[in-house]
Structure formats: structure tokens, C-alpha cells
A = this chain, B = another copy of it.
Amino acid sequence: MSTVDLAPQELRTLVAVAEEGGFSAAAVRLGTTQSAVSHAVRGIERKLGVVLFERGRFGARPTPAGARAVSHGRRVLRMLDVLVAETRSGSPAEVAGPLRIAAFRSAALHLLPPVLERLTARHPALEPTVTVVREVGPGTAGAVAEGRADLGIATFGTSAPIPPELVGDVLLEEPYSLVHPAGHPDPRSLPLVDWLENCSSYTRTWWAAQDWIPTATVRAEDDGAVLSMVSSGLGMAIMPALSLTGAPLSTQITDLGPDRPTRQIGYVTTPELAGTAAVRALVRELRELREPRELRAHANPAATTTKPQLRAV
């Protein structure tokens, strides 16, 4: 037996240092002193016999070993939370505890509220928190992979590929539409407004095939800003349905026809969290989105995967 014990407080210290990028900042987050963090990290490194952080003027950056330790540490901490929550609640059916959701902006605004309402109605002891994450770079899936969230609402096909160690499923497919100021005679002649997260490769291909689409002349910060620009008459945009829910009356939405591009929205989570009662309850509610409710979303349940009873590793 090597008998190396890492206390939860030590794991939290590792995670804080990695996320804050320095001992001092980590100390602030942990509500302790820089000295305590330094002592703790040094102690852990001595116990493990491995240097976990490169120190320097810049602060502290994880070494490869440190990155592994931090990633595992986050998962262990999360499992400890699950232990506490599921030990306290009388049965697995009784779902309780925190549930951290990462979502991109439009999903957080238009997709999640009704889902979370039903979820908390069914499980009052559940405390879901939603973090808005830019769907660029690692995106929401990255937040889940790094243990910052328990479940992510992600767009598939757009942005970076999903890390292989995550599991998930597609929830719905939504079309892109043309949005422009209401009553404009020739909206396609307007300048194009684009935004950062709007970068599906499939969409881009379709985009390039349309000769009427100009290169973007305006680039906004997020889809909400795009919509506000369009409603002010500054131009037109091509946006997914989710970003267009609740679009102001001064805008007009035009279908792009049968060849319109679409994007897939789904959820991702880690295998070990997929089994927890809280995540499963949320996934159950999210699946309801696949059944076409009378409202807007053009859900396409056709492509639902046939699931084997046992999932391969």
C-alpha cells in the first residue's frame, strides 16, 4: 500500500490553483492565505513525488502530471458531492443536491427555463445552476470534460468535436432562418451581421454555395446583439431557430427553403455522472424536447439512436 491520502481540501486547492492560474489567486478563492496554498501544494507534491505546477512570475501552470491530477481531482470531488447527496436523500428516486449545467447563451435563455421548471417541480430538493459558456473552442463540452459542469448543452457538428471520454445524445435539430427588419423590400441586399459562435462547418458550406450572401460586414459579440442590430435595421442575419425565439416584432423571419442548413443540439456529460440520479432526471426532462410540443422548435425525433442495453466502453 502506498497509502497516500489526498484530503478533499487538498484536491480543492489543486483545482483552485489550476483554475485561477496562481497560488495567490487560489488562496483568495479558497478564503485562505497564499502561504497555506504554497504549503499545501508543496505537501501534495512531496506525497506524490511529482511536480504538479510550474511556478514563475506568471503564477502557476500545471505540468502534464498536474493536469492529470487536477482533472481526476475534480471528478473525485464531484463523486464526494454525489456521495453526500445520495446518502442523505432517502432513495435514488429522491433527487437532491446541486446540478451544474453549462449551456450556450440561446439555450440558457430559451431552451432551459421550461425544462428546469419541470425538473424542479418534480424534484424540489434539486438545485440546478446554469452557467453560460461561449460555444467556441472547447465550449460547453469542455466545461463538462474539465469538471466545471455536470451536464452541457452543446451544438454538435459546430465548433470543436466532442471529447471522446464524454457521453451524450442529440436532442433536437433546428433550422437556420433568415431574419431581417420587418417590411424590407429586398432583405437579401442588406449587409450581413454575423457573430462569433456561429461557425458550423456544414452551415459554412451551405453559406458559400449561396451566391446572394455577402461576407459579413458586421460581427457582433453574441446572437442577442445580432438580433438587436437586425431589429434596428442595420442588416440581416442567418440564425438558428433557438436564437430567434422571442425575436422583436420589428424583425421578420423568412424560411430558407428545403435546403436550409440546420444544426443539432444535444447534451453531453461524463460517464460517471451519467449514472447519477440528478443527471438522469435532467436528461429525462431534456428528452421531452424531442417530442414536438405545439411550440416552435422543429424537433426531428427521426434520428433517435437505437440504444443497446449495455454501453460499450
What is the interface of chain A, defined by CB distance below 8 A to chain B? 2, 4-9, 48-50, 52, 64-66, 68-69, 72-73, 75-76, 79-80, 82-84, 86-88, 90-92, 156, 162, 164-170, 266, 268-275, 279-280, 283, 305, 307-313
Distance to closest chain B CB from A48 (angstroms): 6
Partner of A6, one of B83, B156, B168: B83
B313 engages A87 (CB within 8 Å): no
**Given the complex of chains A and B, what is the CA–CA distance between A271 and B78 in angstroms?**
14
Contacts of A90 in B (CB 8 A): 64-65
Q: Who on chain B is nearest to A7 by CB?
A: B7
B269 engages A313 (CB within 8 Å): yes
Main secondary structure of the interface of A (DSSP, over half): mixed
**Given the complex of chains A and B, what is the CA–CA distance between A82 and B68 in angstroms?**
10
A48 engages B84 (CB within 8 Å): yes
Contacts of A274 in B (CB 8 A): 271, 313
**Given the complex of chains A and B, what is the CA–CA distance between A306 and B105 in angstroms?**
34
**Given the complex of chains A and B, what is the CA–CA distance between A271 and B163 in angstroms?**
15
B280 engages A313 (CB within 8 Å): yes
Contacts of A6 in B (CB 8 A): 8, 80, 83-84
A313 engages B69 (CB within 8 Å): no
**Given the complex of chains A and B, what is the CA–CA distance between A64 and B5 in angstroms?**
27
Given contacts A87-B65, A312-B311, contact A164 B72 (CB under 8 A): no
Interface centre among A73, A82, A283, A313 (most CB of B within 10 A): A313
**Given the complex of chains A and B, what is the CA–CA distance between A187 and B301 in angstroms?**
52
